[in-house]
Amino acid sequence: MSMSYTRLITALTLSALAAAAPAAAHHSVTAEFDYAKPFSFKATVIRLVVINPHSVLEVERTNPDGTKTVWKLQTLGAGQLRQRFGPDGAVKPGQEVTVEGIQARSGNAFGFLENLILPDGHAVKTYFGDPNGN
């Protein structure tokens, strides 16, 4: 085999692997989150990390016993968030919001955000799938 042919095969192989990585990494919601563990609670926004493929909303919840827990809620990707909330976003640190979704199978303070209710009462649906991961 010539050197240029070997380089071509190597380049094509690496390109195929790189293209397949995101598809292999993506999973259904039910793979990580448990529909038998829904949640709904008021919390204070810490920050919204806008990244792809899923952004993360970090909130602090005051528990019934007065202790506080930081929850990380997986949500839409960067482009979808901009479509729903505009370029300035919808949530700011310190805002009181209500979050609704499903908790991680691990039982940790991690979940998948389905609905975000803003301080003015405006509700934003952030997930339109079904329990089968479709």
* DSSP H helical ranges for the chain: 3-25, 29-32, 78-85
pTM above 0.85, yes or no: no
Residue 126 backbone phi and psi in degrees, to 5 = -115, 5
pLDDT of amino acid 26: 52
Contact present, 77 and 55 (Cβ < 8 Å): yes
Residue 133, Cβ neighbours under 10 Å: how many?
Answer: 12
pLDDT in tens, the chain (134 residues): 555 655 555 544 544 444 444 444 455 677 788 989 999 999 999 998 888 888 899 999 999 999 999 999 998 888 887 777 766 667 889 999 999 999 999 989 999 999 999 999 988 888 766 555 44
List of domains in the chain = 29-125 (2.40.50.1010)
Residue 130 has a pLDDT of 55
Check the CA dihedral 39-40-46-47 and report its sign: positive
The answer to whether 99 and 44 are in contact (CB under 8 A) is no
Cα distance from N-terminal residue to C-terminal residue, the chain? 46
